Amino acid sequence: MHIQKIIRENIKTALNEIFKLKTKNIELQQTKKEFDGDITLVVFPLVKELKMNPKEIAEKLGNYLVQTNSIVSYNVVSGFLNLSISDEYYLDLFNSIKDNLEYGYSNINSEDVVMVEYSSPNTNKPLHLGHIRNNLLGYSMSEIYKASGKKVYKTQIINDRGIHICKSMIAWLDYSNGDTPESTNTKGDKFVGDYYIKFDKLYKKEVEELIKSGSNEKEAMQNAPILLRAKEMLIKWESVDKEVVELWKKMNSWVYEGFEETYKNLGVDFDSYYYESDTYLLGKEFILSGLKSSVFYKKDDGSVWCDLTNEGLDEKIVLRADGTAVYMTQDIGTAVQRVKDFPDINSMVYTVGNEQDYHFKVLFLILKKLGFSWSENLFHLSYGMVDLPSGKMKSREGTVVDADDLMEEMTRTAKDVSQKLGKLDGLSEDEKNNVFKTVGLGALKYYILKVDPKKRILFDPKESVDFQGNTASFIQYSYARIQSILNGVNFELVTNKYERQLEVKEKDLIKQIDLFPSVISGAASSHNPALVANYVYDLVKSFNSFYQSLPILKSAFDDKKSFRVELSKLVGITIKNALSMLGIGVVDRM
């Protein structure tokens, strides 16, 4: 059992013994560095329940706790009870986890099952920087949920239908001369995306010509011949026109191959796929049943709406007057379908940008009104956009930062930095390339994941690959340093139980390691991988302070030497596990 859990249980016992109080208001935190102690109990939440002076409560608890084996002393500062924990407890923890390669991971609870949706791209363009943040958030949260003990299904819904898909198809028909990704040696999603950009240029040209001919801007934008052809193609697709559907399937297959290559390079995966072409009609049956139960109402024009004004929202259309579905209808049906496909699901997480905040508030509320019990456990993992120093990205104009190009640039940047350091001598070219890719992608992932998802990010590739400061490179370098220490061991480790007085830096490091399971739990419950990212940075800072202050391999005492080597090894395990939850790899040399 971890130290905070032990202390929490001891405090519960003390409160019951002294005050006959059973409460959940036990708030623990690490003691601030300016005070003596290891763990601090925040007494203020207990004041209301006990109706006593906070100092009096703290003193009585402190006097009780020092009689246990875990607490050696205490002090009270302004309603905070600072507790000093015995070395014995920290050593017991260390001895119990030092050889655990899975440290931090909880056993999977098959009854706690979450489905995480992320990526969800359109099939008319390649993945870009915005998709990278989406994929990294969805994947890392999936790994963190797993580590916290949840069973996880990773999924996405691919937006493979609509006018935007037809635009790429029209441009390909007119201008490809039968070219394919294979014949042009072009990645499939990039190939199709180029025709989407081509369509937009042609469309703008036609709009300009119509305006010159006397049309106003609105008319010109609606009546550009190439747009009318795209709309006609969409009608044919919905009518299952054989030629249109075959072209649609062919071009989508090119894109899917491209997507899979990007996902593989980025290091993300999925357990299931949903396609909008299959799901866009789902949900209609629930609209009809909702009409019967008065969840929805029909307007005079035949359109169906949900009135959410009593909940502080507005009225939301769920079915058009002509009976066609809107996105809300589809999302209702898709959510229900997923629970049918995976009956053990009891919660779902949607990783979607913050421009859709309102949409998901409405979706979750409608599902609740329709009586689905699992609707209480739906969460929108909302995130801010990613900007570059060059400005905002626009897909139609081809000014987006392509995900593949960015990953290649990050690998090149890591190569340049690593070669300047000159520490890869003796490695083969394949080994060097693995280091460059691991460091480059790690820099990209960490730079994005260390920021709270809700915040907007200005991404600077060069700043992200820095061997100093809060970066993946700094953390990976410290991991490589630990591997160098372990490779330098030329004596037999003391593998039995350690019993000794701890140095301050040793104790600080074990305290930091002890926090890892609670950090994972907190990251899972708050849906925030930044907690894991910043935790591992703090762990590395603590290790470097330990490394610089105390001799490890050069210690004159075998027990100290052996203990510090094993402590370093446990730090390495913890770093590797934490980075793995962020989708980041490690290397033994940098």
* pTM exceeds 0.85 for this model: yes
Of 240, 271, 302, the last residue of a domain is 271
Note the pLDDT of residue 420.
77
Interacting residues of 560 by C-beta distance below 8 A, sequence separation 6+: 500
Note the pLDDT of residue 294.
96
State both tokens at 315: 């009225």
Nearest alpha-carbon partner for 415 in 436, 429, 430, 442: 436
On the CB side of 469, CA atoms within 13 Å amount to: 9
3-class state of residue 167 by DSSP: helix
Residues 63 and 176 in one domain: no
Residues 69 and 199 in one domain: no
Of 85, 107, 142, the last residue of a domain is 85
Residues 458 and 563 in one domain: yes
Residues 60 and 173 in one domain: no
Residues 64 and 177 in one domain: no
Tracing tokens 């259309």 back to the chain, one arrives at 317
Note the pLDDT of residue 556.
72
376 assigned to some structural domain: no
Residues 420 and 565 in one domain: yes
Residues 75 and 166 in one domain: no
On the CB side of 423, CA atoms within 13 Å amount to: 14
Domain with 24 in it: what CATH number?
A: 3.30.1360.70
Interacting residues of 431 by C-beta distance below 8 A, sequence separation 6+: 424
Q: Characterize the bridge pairing of strands 109-117 and 150-158.
A: parallel
Residues 175 and 79 in one domain: no
Interacting residues of 191 by C-beta distance below 8 A, sequence separation 6+: 180, 181, 184, 254, 258
62 assigned to some structural domain: yes
Note the pLDDT of residue 209.
97
184 assigned to some structural domain: yes
340 assigned to some structural domain: no
Q: Characterize the bridge pairing of strands 457-458 and 386-387.
A: parallel
Residues 63 and 205 in one domain: no
**Domain count for the chain:** 3
Query: Do residues 45 and 38 make contact, with C-beta atoms less than 8 angstroms apart?
Result: no
Contacts of 468-473 spanning 24+ positions with Cβ under 8 A = 470/534, 470/537, 471/443, 471/446, 471/447, 472/439, 472/442, 472/443, 472/445, 472/446, 472/447, 472/579, 472/584, 473/414, 473/417, 473/439, 473/442, 473/443, 473/590
Domain with 489 in it: what CATH number?
A: 1.10.730.10
Of 254, 271, 288, the last residue of a domain is 271
Residues 71 and 171 in one domain: no
Low-confidence ranges of the chain (pLDDT < 50): 392-398
The CA-CA-CA angle for residues 217, 221, 225, to 5°, reads 130
388 assigned to some structural domain: no
Taking the C-alpha atoms of residue 463 and residue 414, their distance in angstroms, rounded to an integer, is 11
Taking the C-alpha atoms of residue 58 and residue 37, their distance in angstroms, rounded to an integer, is 14
499 assigned to some structural domain: yes
Domain that holds residue 34: 3-85
Residues 198 and 63 in one domain: no
State both tokens at 143: 């790994």
345 assigned to some structural domain: no
Taking the C-alpha atoms of residue 532 and residue 534, their distance in angstroms, rounded to an integer, is 6
Partners of 387 in the β-ladder? 458
Taking the C-alpha atoms of residue 179 and residue 198, their distance in angstroms, rounded to an integer, is 15
95 assigned to some structural domain: no
